[in-house]
């Protein structure tokens, strides 16, 4: 390969530095006409404005090549005098590009810096570099991902490239000082993936022996990323948790930059308005409106950190939520205590009460149906997401038809995204499309999804109410369809009360549906304050009974425990895990997952407070009964066999009574057609008798006949 050399250039009125095999293309005539050539260019214009960038042809080493020429605009006299000492923007860009290239950091190869002075005034200056065809800026690529609905793993893959490139640049000793997302350009390979991150607009940069934490942090400050993904980029950059000094300096830098951005409209009102109009025209989203789907954990990604999420929810919204809860609290609390006294006091027929969620979008469906057959003819939940689009809705409708023909009771969950809020007509059309096709085939439709979490696209009660508004008319149009909601999540019943209160007039839920996860407490019997799963279920039932916006019926439409060792596929991994990061403390083993879920089903249903529970879900690497990513193909987890045994033994049984036992020992009695069954288990201890009933045979949680010596976390069945 030919050795590239650079030489000083003094051609007519121009001075600078140029690659030796380009020098002969820069004759005096070409240089004198360069400004006009750039300004009159109609094609190959990469950037307009004060600093114009165009693609021109030059002969280099005997061949015609495309060259990116950046023409710097004029500046004030004091800046010219300053640049006489430190070098012009073109010269600084050239030197910085040479430095980066020498240290293996990607940037378009520098070819020349040219400038023309008249006394102490800089009249013209140019930076020439290789033109890399097909590059796209990080800013444009992020906008495309948001607009086209690429999934979280695609975005994280991009951030991995960006974070590694930034770290390499900083470790080499280059402080960019203008590192906005528009100044990182991406090249892609034949497979469409990103191969390199090229740094451009280098004239403000500084070369250091070693960058300080402040300088590293300042280079992050201008990046236009939702704060949640900015946090991921920082973890990628450090390949671990960021040093405390860096986090402190970055927080300061972000506050200063945010203030600078917010005050821009007062400093440059005309320019700001033009920029805002251009952003709207190009479809750029506000950071708080970015919504990304994470198919690995089957949920919306956390795009904003805690402070930004709180800023999305106004003080007025918090006051509405708090006020609703305070007004309703006395009556709810009085009724709750009465309800709790009735726990496990009534017979409960279990037939049709345990349902299973399937995944119609991201997994093969027929294998799921095969596993479902092993569980029997149980209720099934399918989700329709506004973000999925019509092609996927049609596929899911086809799967729904098949399940309906097989005789399964079906519940449908309707998922919103942020675009549903921003484009209400699109949301209305989506509801109409789905509901008209499923009337007469489903038992229940859950309207909206996890409405008390900003990541799911809703920032306040009014936005939630606006999404429910079309259902008022649709309820009249499709009277056979029953609706449930408001589909809040976790033990945040203050928001649940407020969401029920904000339900539009004319819409009355046929059931209160809720996603009651208790995984952060470990076992389902463990308490959060005074509330274990039974107490939470009793309070849920009380709220349903006290509300005038729903009937006294409760469905837990989503529950599971996250599984240890499943990485970013776990629902508690937050889209990215640094190398060597520890698993979440709430993650459990596959055996505990099965034990906890079976116990959860019994506690919620047999207490009499919950009418149905849907297991989320049948197949999922991070939280399902079947592991679709196992080596050698799909694999049944131990919990699958546990559920099969539970349904075989008790799926059509009737709960009769909860027997008196020692603390943390649970024994529940069930009737079957010809005999009685007692399910017994412990929470965090073992028990070796005396047994609460006589029995002839004992089955363990997986259906194996055993000699009973003691009971632990895994339920066993005592058969009369």
Q: What pLDDT digit, counting tens, does each position of 539-553 carry?
A: 999 999 999 999 999
Q: Which of 511 and 583 is assigned the larger pLDDT?
A: 511
Question: Could you tell me the strand order of the sheet in which 697-699 lies?
Answer: 348-349, 654-658, 665-671, 676-682, 716-719, 697-699
Q: Return the pLDDT at 584.
A: 84
In this prediction the pTM is 0.92
Query: Which pLDDT tens digit goes with each residue over 69-83?
Result: 999 999 899 999 988
pLDDT band at 284 (very low <50, low <70, confident <90, very high): confident
Phi, psi for residue 70 in degrees, rounded to 5: -105, 120
Decide if pLDDT at 330 tops 80.
yes
Give the helix/strand (H/E) hosting 153: helix 152-172
Which residues lie below 8 Å from residue 76, measured CB to CB, with a gap of 6+?
A: none
Q: Distance between CA 647 and CA 126 in Å, rounded? A: 76
Q: Distance between CA 293 and CA 301 in Å, rounded? A: 6
Half-sphere exposure of 431 (CA within 13 A, CB side): 24
Tokens 């800026």 belong to residue: 137
Query: Which pLDDT tens digit goes with each residue over 661-677?
Result: 999 999 999 999 999 99
pLDDT band at 282 (very low <50, low <70, confident <90, very high): low
Task: Look at 463-467, 576-580, 595-599 and tell me which has the smallest mean pLDDT.
Answer: 576-580
Q: Distance between CA 558 and CA 699 in Å, rounded? A: 28
Task: Look at 2-16, 132-146, 218-232, 403-417 and tell me which has the smallest mean pLDDT.
Answer: 2-16
Q: Return the pLDDT at 263.
A: 86
**What mean pLDDT is predicted for residues 576-585?**
84
Q: Return the pLDDT at 268.
A: 80
Residue 517 and residue 340 in contact, taking contact as beta carbons nearer than 8 Å: no
Q: Distance between CA 645 and CA 705 in Å, rounded? A: 12
Residue 222: name the closest of 212, 236, 233, 211 by CA: 233
Decide if pLDDT at 649 tops 70.
yes
Q: Distance between CA 609 and CA 422 in Å, rounded? A: 37
Q: Return the pLDDT at 676.
A: 97
Distances (CA, A) of 100 to 137, 263, 541: 19, 34, 64
Residue 655 β-bridge partners: 348, 670
**What mean pLDDT is predicted for residues 165-178?**
98
Structure-block tokens of residue 148:
């086209």
Q: Return the pLDDT at 264.
A: 80
Task: Look at 42-56, 78-92, 182-196, 624-638 and tell me which has the smallest mean pLDDT.
Answer: 182-196
Cis preceding linkage at 617, omega within 30: yes
Q: Distance between CA 701 and CA 646 in Å, rounded? A: 8
pLDDT band at 300 (very low <50, low <70, confident <90, very high): very high
Residue 400 and residue 412 in contact, taking contact as beta carbons nearer than 8 Å: yes
To the nearest whole percent, how much of the chain has pLDDT over 70?
99
Question: Could you tell me the strand order of the sheet in which 63-71 lies?
Answer: 6-11, 14-19, 110-118, 121-130, 63-71, 52-60, 45-47
Residue 705 and residue 655 in contact, taking contact as beta carbons nearer than 8 Å: no
At how many degrees (to 10) do helices 315-341 and 461-477 cross? Answer: 60
Q: Which of 558 and 85 is assigned the larger pLDDT?
A: 558
Decide if pLDDT at 500 tops 80.
yes
Q: Return the pLDDT at 283.
A: 66
Q: Return the pLDDT at 152.
A: 95
Dihedral angle over CA of 419, 424, 426, 431, nearest 10: 110
Report the SS3 class of residue 460.
Answer: coil
Q: Which of 314 and 419 is assigned the larger pLDDT?
A: 419
Which residues lie below 8 Å from residue 415, measured CB to CB, with a gap of 6+?
A: 383, 384, 385, 386, 387, 448, 449, 456
Dihedral angle over CA of 318, 322, 327, 329, nearest 10: 150
Q: Return the pLDDT at 270.
A: 79
Decide if pLDDT at 36 tops 70.
yes
Residue 117 and residue 14 in contact, taking contact as beta carbons nearer than 8 Å: no
Which residues lie below 8 Å from residue 577, measured CB to CB, with a gap of 6+?
A: 567, 568
The two beta strands, 52-60 and 184-188, are unpaired
Decide if pLDDT at 458 tops 80.
yes
55, burial (CB in 10 Å: exposed 0-12, middle 13-18, buried 19+): middle
What average pLDDT does the chain have? 94
Decide if pLDDT at 2 tops 60.
no
Residue 578 and residue 235 in contact, taking contact as beta carbons nearer than 8 Å: yes
Decide if pLDDT at 11 tops 90.
no
The two beta strands, 52-60 and 63-71, are antiparallel
Decide if pLDDT at 366 tops 50.
yes
Residue 544 and residue 551 in contact, taking contact as beta carbons nearer than 8 Å: yes
Q: Return the pLDDT at 1.
A: 47
Residue 599: name the closest of 648, 539, 526, 654 by CA: 526
Residue 181: name the closest of 151, 226, 213 by CA: 226
706, burial (CB in 10 Å: exposed 0-12, middle 13-18, buried 19+): exposed
Tokens 């050239």 belong to residue: 94
Q: Return the pLDDT at 76.
A: 92
């Amino acid at each position: 390969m030919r050795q590239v050399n650079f030489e000083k250039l003094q051609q007519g009125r121009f001075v600078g530095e140029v690659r030796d095999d380009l020098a002969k293309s820069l004759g005096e005539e070409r240089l004198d006409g360069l400004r006009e050539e750039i300004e009159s260019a109609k094609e190959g214009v990469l950037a307009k404005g004060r600093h114009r960038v165009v693609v021109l042809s030059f002969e280099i080493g005997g061949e015609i090549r495309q060259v990116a020429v950046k023409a710097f605009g004029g500046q004030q006299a004091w800046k010219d005098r300053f640049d006489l000492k430190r070098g012009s923007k073109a010269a600084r860009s050239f030197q910085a590009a040479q430095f980066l290239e020498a240290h293996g950091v990607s940037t378009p190869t520098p070819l020349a810096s040219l400038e023309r002075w008249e006394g102490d005034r800089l009249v013209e200056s140019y930076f020439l570099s290789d033109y890399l065809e097909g590059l796209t800026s990080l800013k444009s690529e992020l906008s495309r991902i948001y607009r086209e609905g690429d999934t979280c793993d695609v975005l994280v893959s991009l951030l991995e490239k960006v974070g590694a490139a930034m770290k390499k640049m900083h470790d080499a000793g280059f402080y960019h000082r203008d590192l906005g997302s528009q100044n990182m350009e991406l090249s892609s390979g034949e497979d469409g993936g990103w191969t390199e991150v090229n740094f451009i607009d280098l004239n403000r940069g500084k070369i250091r022996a070693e960058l300080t934490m402040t300088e590293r942090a300042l280079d992050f400050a201008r990046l236009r990323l939702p704060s949640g993904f900015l946090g991921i980029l920082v973890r990628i950059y450090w390949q671990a948790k960021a040093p405390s000094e860096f986090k402190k300096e970055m927080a300061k830098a972000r506050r200063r930059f945010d203030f600078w951005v917010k005050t821009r409209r007062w400093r440059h009102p005309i320019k700001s308005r033009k920029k805002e109009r251009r952003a709207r025209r190009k479809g750029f989203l506000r950071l708080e409106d970015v919504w990304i789907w994470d198919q690995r954990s089957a949920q919306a990604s956390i795009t904003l950190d805690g402070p930004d999420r709180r800023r999305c929810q106004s003080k007025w919204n918090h006051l509405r939520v708090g006020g609703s809860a305070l007004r309703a609290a006395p009556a709810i609390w009085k009724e709750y205590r009465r309800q709790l006294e009735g726990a496990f006091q009534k017979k409960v027929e279990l037939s049709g009460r345990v349902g299973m969620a399937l995944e119609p979008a991201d997994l093969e469906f027929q294998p799921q149906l095969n596993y479902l057959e092993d569980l029997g003819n149980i209720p099934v939940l399918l989700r329709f997401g506004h973000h999925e689009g019509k092609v996927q809705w049609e596929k899911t409708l086809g799967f729904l038809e098949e399940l309906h023909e097989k005789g399964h009771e079906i519940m449908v969950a309707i998922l919103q995204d942020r675009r549903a809020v921003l484009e209400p007509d699109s949301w209305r059309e989506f509801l109409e499309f789905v509901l008209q096709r499923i009337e007469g085939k489903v038992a229940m439709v859950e309207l909206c999804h996890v409405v008390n979490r900003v990541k799911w696209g809703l920032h306040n009660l009014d936005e939630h109410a606006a999404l429910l508004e079309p259902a008022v008319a649709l309820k009249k149009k499709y009277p056979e369809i029953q609706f449930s909601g408001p589909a809040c999540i976790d033990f945040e019943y203050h928001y649940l009360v407020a969401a029920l209160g904000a339900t539009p007039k004319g819409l009355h839920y046929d059931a209160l549906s809720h996603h009651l996860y208790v995984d952060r407490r470990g076992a389902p019997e463990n308490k959060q304050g005074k509330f274990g799963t039974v107490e939470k279920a009793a309070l849920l039932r009380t709220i349903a009974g006290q509300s005038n916006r729903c009937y006294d019926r409760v469905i837990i439409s989503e529950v599971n425990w996250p599984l240890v060792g499943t990485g970013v596929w776990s629902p508690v991994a937050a889209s990215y895990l640094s190398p060597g990061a520890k698993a979440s403390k709430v993650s459990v083993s596959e055996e505990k997952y099965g034990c906890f879920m079976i116990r959860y089903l019994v506690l919620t249903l047999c207490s009499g407070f919950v009418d149905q529970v849907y297991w989320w879900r049948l197949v999922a690497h991070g939280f399902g009964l079947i592991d679709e990513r196992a080596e050698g193909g799909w694999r049944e987890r131990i919990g699958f066999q546990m559920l099969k045994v539970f349904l075989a033994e008790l799926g059509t049984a009737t709960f009769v009574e909860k027997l008196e036992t020692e603390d943390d020992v649970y024994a529940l009695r069930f009737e079957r057609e010809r005999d009685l069954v007692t399910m017994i288990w412990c929470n965090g201890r073992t028990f070796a008798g005396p047994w609460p009933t006589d029995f002839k045979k004992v089955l363990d949680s997986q259906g194996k006949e055993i000699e009973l010596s003691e009971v632990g976390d895994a339920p066993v069945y005592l058969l009369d």
